[in-house]
Amino acid sequence: MIGDRLHELRTERGMSLRALAEQAGVSPTLLSQIERGVTEPSLSTLRRLAGVFGASIASLFEDPAAPAVWISRPGERTTLGAPNGQIRYERLTPGNGQLEVLHAVLAPGEVSSEELWSHPSMECVYVVSGTLTVQVERSSYTVAAGESLTLDSNRPHRYLNDSATNTEIVLAINPPTP
């Protein structure tokens, strides 16, 4: 519920209803109602509130369901295969948030998928060792160990290892695409 989130943000900062109301240019009563779920804010008041908190509207809807701390070790990670590809990714993140980080090792010749793939996210690959080739639409890029590549996943793309040695990568994706 959006009210809970706003209540949390306000109390976190030690603000009173009236203080926040004044800064946001709305009435204290309205805030009270919103926080208790009696009514729902309009986008315009949501904008004002986000402004006071220095946050984006988007962040008001991301549940901060505190997943404490999550450690993943090789061997005890959930793996997921790319659609129609050979790579097996290991998931480094719990998988309930807005951030997904994967780890993979590509054997020589291995590709992430047969066709180019697109999804509405941003992703960033860091090459730990070996050499990675990234195809984006009709271009392809070579990324060596220690280098990284960031791309808009809306553009059809795939990864492949056309070198003779294993390639180890870390892949950060936001938001995750199930």
Residues that bind DNA (CB under 7 A): 16-19, 25-30, 32-36, 38-45
Q: Which is nearer to DNA, 52 or 92 (CB)?
A: 52
The residues with which 136 forms a beta bridge, in sequence order, are 139, 157
CB atoms under 10 Å from CB of 75, counted, come to 6
Strand segments, DSSP code E, in 82-138 are 88-91, 100-106, 122-129, 131-136
As a residue count, the chain comes to 178
Which residue's CB is nearer to DNA, number 25 or number 108?
25
| C-alpha distance from residue 131 to each of 40, 59, 111, 143 (Å) | 51, 36, 13, 6
Residue 18 or 111: the one with the smaller Cβ distance to a second copy is 111
Binding footprint of a second copy on the chain (CB under 8 A): 2, 12, 40-44, 55-62, 64, 66-74, 92-94, 97-99, 101, 103, 120, 122-124, 126, 128, 134, 136, 139, 141, 143-144, 146-152, 154-155, 170, 172-175
Residue 174 interacts with, from a second copy, DNA, none (CB under 5-8 Å by kind): a second copy
33 binds, among DNA, a second copy, none (CB under 5 to 8 A by kind): DNA
- Asked if residues 134 and 159 have their Cβ atoms less than 8 Å apart, the reply is yes
